[in-house]
Chains A and B, each alone.
Chain A
Amino acid sequence: DAGVTQSPTHLIKTRGQQVTLRCSPKSGHDTVSWYQQALGQGPQFIFQYYEEEERQRGNFPDRFSGHQFPNYSSELNVNALLLGDSALYLCASNPRGLAGHEQFFGPGTRLTVL
Chain B
Amino acid sequence: AQSVTQLGSHVSVSEGALVLLRCNYSSSVPPYLFWYVQYPNQGLQLLLKYTSAATLVKGINGFEAEFKKSETSFHLTKPSAHMSDAAEYFCAVSGAGGTSYGKLTFGQGTILTVHP
Binding site for B on A (CB under 8 A): 4, 31, 33, 35, 40-45, 48, 55-56, 58, 90, 92, 94, 99-108
Contact = CB atoms under 8 A, between A and B. Distances in A.
A101 B102 contact: yes
A105 B45 contact: yes
Contacts of B36: 105
Nearest to B50: A100
Nearest to B33: A100
Contacts of B109: 40-42
B90 interface: yes
Given A42-B107, A43-B106, A56-B102, A100 B43 contact: no
Contact of A56 (B45, B50, B103, B108): B103
Query: In terms of DSSP, what is the predominant structure of the interface of chain B?
Result: strand
A87 B49 CA distance: 26
Nearest to B9: A40
B11 interface: no
A100 B52 CA distance: 9
B43 to A, nearest CB: 4
B42 A101 contact: no
Nearest to B109: A42
Contacts of B44: 43, 90, 92, 105
A31 B32 CA distance: 18
A102 B102 contact: no
B108 A42 contact: yes
A42 to B, nearest CB: 4
Given A105-B44, A106-B43, A55 B106 contact: no
Contact of A90 (B4, B32, B43, B46): B43
Nearest to A48: B102
A108 B106 CA distance: 16
